[in-house]
A and B are shown apart, each in its own frame.
Chain A
Amino acid sequence: MRRGIAATALVAAMALAATACGGDDGGSGGDKKSGGKLSGTVTYWDTSNEAEKGTYKELALGFEKKHPDVKVNYVNVPFGEALAKFKNAAGSGGSGAPDVLRTEVAWTQDLANIGYLAPLDGTPALADQSDYLPKALAGAKFKGKTYAVPQVIDTLGLFYNKKMLKDAGVQPPKDWTELKAAAKKIKQKTGKTGLYLRGDDAYWYLPFIYGEGGDLLDTGAKKVTIDDEPGIKAFAAARDLVTSKAAETDATDGWDNMQNAIKNGDVAMTINGPWAIEDTLAGKAFKDKSNLGVVPVPAGSKGQGAPQGGQNLTVYAGSKNLDASYAFAQYMSSAEVQAKTTEKLSLLPTRTSVYSNKSVAANPNVKFFKAAVDKAVERPWIPEGNSLFQAILVQFPNVLTGKTSPEKAAKSAGDAYRKLLKGDWK
């Protein structure tokens, strides 16, 4: 403990010294406005997938060209492990924690709530706040402060194999009923399954509940709503697809099985987001890249809805190199970098200005997904946002295969939420 105090005092003294000499010719790295040179190391944990990480590494190292004195330490951490890994590192006094972390939007509030993130209002990281899509920025806020810079925004869409649908003589379906009918025809004409529906990830449940006009929670009224009518209907609608054999599913390895199925042409459709475009196009069914079509997620009985997702850049509050970290976060979400990720990976920019870029505007996937994102449903931005998926995940596989009734599944999920959410939730 004593050493902790000493360290605090030392850091405070250094900070004072840094501000004191900030008025000089910028000899120290502590000053950001006088054009002082940034230096040191920035460790960046990227969570992009196999198909994306090469591009991201190249872009991250590009920061070194702009700031020759800064060394970027790029680390790719698998998406599924990143949150736990970051929490372990940040909680134990920060040894091993990165300076900048790519966070899924639902992690932002969780990490900010525990105090691991540096607020970014007024820092260079958020210098041009007005350029960001309002929806993307909303997901970066917690209790009135902004804790993240939006990097990419996304939502789910229906990916389809154009050739298979044409062979079966069907149009891309607009709602679940049409999808069922289309799947039947596809089975008859080509012998393949219509849709692969992921059963091992709760994110894939969201289009169903939004399509029935419901939501997991009503954060305004502090009420759990998943066990209301729309929630039950959503489970029933998803189950109907699987039990009627319009869709196939798995309770484990869903991602790999889904991607294998669509890439090899074993299924005609999947529900997926922009992050999967690059990987899907690598499959043998899409040797001709124009064979991949994307349309909005089919609608439920109350209309169409898909969740808003995306990735943010957050700065660790305990970073020893905050100024370089802010600059790095700004760079990684800059118009220039976003244009490149769109060009190479078809990811959606979070800046309005990037959409007027020629190559971005011409990208058909972006054109589609931008419209979809504009309509996407915002998720509850609360610290428990990410944990909400756990309860659905426990129910989803068994509902899909007909082992649990939709009523029971919705009720169990609702009960689990009331246990999870502390405070006066109903």
Chain B
Amino acid sequence: MAVDTSRPLDPAAGAKGARGRIRNAGTPPRSRIRNALARHWYAWAMVAPVVIVIGLIIGYPLGRGLYLSLTDANEANVERTIGVNHIPATYKNVGLDNFKAILDDQVFWDRLGWTVTWTVCCVALTFSIGLGLAVLLNRRFAGRTLYRSLLILPWAVPAFVSVFAWRLLYNEKNGILNKVLEGGGIDAVPWLNDPTMAKASVIAVNIWLGVPFMLVALLGGLQSIPGELYEAAEMDGASPWQRFRHITLPGLRSVSSTVILLSTIWTFNMFPVIFLLTRGGPGDATEILVTYAYRLSFVNSPRDFAGASAWGVLILLILMLFAVVYRRSLRKQGEVW
């Protein structure tokens, strides 16, 4: 911000640059940088803390992870300090061996398949339900504020608390859901004990957790669509469905493209729901890529840092690839994002 505003305040420098191109041709670029630094030093100084903090908390772990993924580091051969003892690192570089091993392994492809299914199901359903509720709540009716606040409630509860609550509901022997069904004379449903049911159950919980976010974002988007458009369409005799298709959906596009991208990335890496609800079980039916990476680095002994980092790098690559493709397809539709 500071850099931008300072430019028009300095007409002399701007004019010199515009007119005196030939005169300044011999000036080495370095002095220009120095000039810029001298003039905008305060801007750099203000940006510096952020750059340093981001470098420390994101850049360093990222770089460290990339490096570890190319080694055979595990808990027993990394550098560690135990009291007064210092044990030096003895792991070595193994190149791309970790990645080769992962991609050769059926485990990765099985997990990837389910992770993609899980992400697509969750995002599609969360978005549709969120959109439906947002359209409903965008009308004027008595008690609208109350409904809105109630629907945001799942968001107000910490995720792990709601997941534990769901786990109690789902319990096959003593859970409330099955008690209710039993009252209706229906056999107990093995919510988390049958692979297919467990998959449906974790998706349901994630949708329950994700809808409020969609609802709030889309409601905001809906309110920014001018009412005149609807009035004009109504005058022209457009049906409610036509109004929804040709006014609401295009009007929401910028909001919905962002929330879909965000929610895809969040769902793809949604560790707490899967881990706290089923621990990836029964068997490994509901295990997604991140919970498997967690297993490698925190559950198995000795902890496999290299393998888990390689999984992390692959997950990052998949998400980056997705974001790039998604952005490009939006741009093709004329969306500037």
Q: Give A contacts to B, CB under 8 Å.
A: 4, 7-8, 11-12, 83-84, 87, 90-91, 93-94, 110, 113-116, 199-200, 249-253, 256-257, 260-261, 316-320, 383-384, 386-387, 390, 393-398, 401, 403-404, 420
Contact = CB atoms under 8 A, between A and B. Distances in A.
B81 A94 contact: yes
Interface of B: 75-76, 80-87, 167, 171-174, 190, 192-195, 198, 277-279, 281-285, 295, 298-303
A8 B85 CA distance: 8
Given A114-B302, A250-B193, A257 B75 contact: no
18 contacts: A4-B81, A83-B301, A84-B299, A91-B75, A94-B83, A200-B281, A252-B167, A252-B281, A252-B282, A253-B171, A257-B174, A320-B83, A394-B281, A394-B284, A395-B283, A398-B285, A401-B190, A401-B194
Given A383-B302, A420-B300, A319 B83 contact: yes
Contacts of B171: 252-253, 256-257
A113 B83 contact: no
B174 A260 contact: yes
Contacts of A4: 81, 86
Contact of A318 (B82, B190, B282): B82
A406 to B, nearest CB: 14
A4 B86 CA distance: 9
Nearest to A261: B173
B173 A257 contact: yes
B85 A251 contact: no
A24 B278 CA distance: 61
Nearest to B86: A4
Nearest to A420: B300
- Mostly, the B contact residues are loop
A90 B86 CA distance: 12
Contacts of A251: 192-193, 198, 278, 281-283
Quick one: which of A94, A252, A383 has the most chain B CB within 10 A?
A252
Contacts of A113: 76, 302
A199 B172 CA distance: 13
A256 B168 CA distance: 11
Given A386-B301, A387-B301, A318 B281 contact: no
Which 7 pairs of residues, A with B, have the shortest CB-CB distance?
A: A318-B83, A251-B282, A397-B282, A398-B283, A251-B193, A110-B301, A318-B82
A397 B279 contact: no
A260 B174 CA distance: 9
B75 A252 contact: no
Contacts of A316: 82-83
